[in-house]
C-alpha cells in the first residue's frame, strides 16, 4: 500500500442477513458484473453496485465489533457482513492492473 495515496475498491451490497442465502447467490452476483448504481434481484435477494469506497473504509469497518470480515485471498476479495447487508469489496480495475 505504500506509495499509493488511496486505493479504491468496488462495493457490491447484498441485502440479506442470512449467510446461507448469501453463499447461494454470491458467485451469480459477481458474474453479473453490475453497472454503477445498478440493482438486481437474485433469488429474491436484492444486490446493488454501490460505487467505489476507499481502502480506509475497510479499515474503519474492520475495527467495529458488529462487523464480520471475510477475506478470499485467492481472489483478493473482502466481504463485510453487518446488520442485514453483506458488502463485497473488490479492488478497482486500475488497482488490479497496477
What 8-state DSSP symbol labels residue 15?
A: -
What's the structural domain count of the chain? 1
Residue 1 is assigned to a structural domain of this protein:
no
**Percent of the chain with pLDDT strictly greater than 90:** 71
* pLDDT of residue 32 exceeding 50: yes
Mean pLDDT across the stretch 30-57?
94
* pLDDT of residue 3 exceeding 50: no
Residue 2 is assigned to a structural domain of this protein:
no
Query: Domain span at residue 58?
Result: 8-97
Q: What per-residue confidence (pLDDT) applies to 1? A: 41
**CA separation for the pair 4, 85 (Å, rounded):** 29
**CA separation for the pair 53, 11 (Å, rounded):** 7
What 8-state DSSP symbol labels residue 29?
A: H
Q: What is the pLDDT of residues 63-75, one digit of tens each?
A: 999 999 999 888 8
- Beta strands per DSSP E along 5-74: 8-14, 39-42, 45-54, 68-72
pTM: 0.85
Mean pLDDT across the stretch 28-54?
94
Residue 25 is assigned to a structural domain of this protein:
yes
Amino acid at each position: 500500500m505504500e506509495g499509493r495515496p488511496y486505493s479504491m475498491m468496488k462495493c457490491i451490497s447484498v441485502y440479506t442477513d442470512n449467510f446461507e442465502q448469501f453463499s447461494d447467490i454470491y458467485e451469480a452476483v459477481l458474474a453479473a458484473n453490475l453497472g454503477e448504481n445498478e440493482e438486481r434481484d437474485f433469488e429474491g435477494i436484492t444486490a446493488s453496485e454501490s460505487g467505489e469506497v476507499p481502502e480506509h473504509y475497510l479499515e474503519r469497518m474492520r475495527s467495529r465489533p458488529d462487523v464480520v470480515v471475510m477475506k478470499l485471498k485467492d481472489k483478493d476479495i473482502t466481504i463485510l457482513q453487518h446488520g442485514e447487508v453483506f458488502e463485497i469489496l473488490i479492488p478497482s480495475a486500475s488497482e488490479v492492473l497496477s
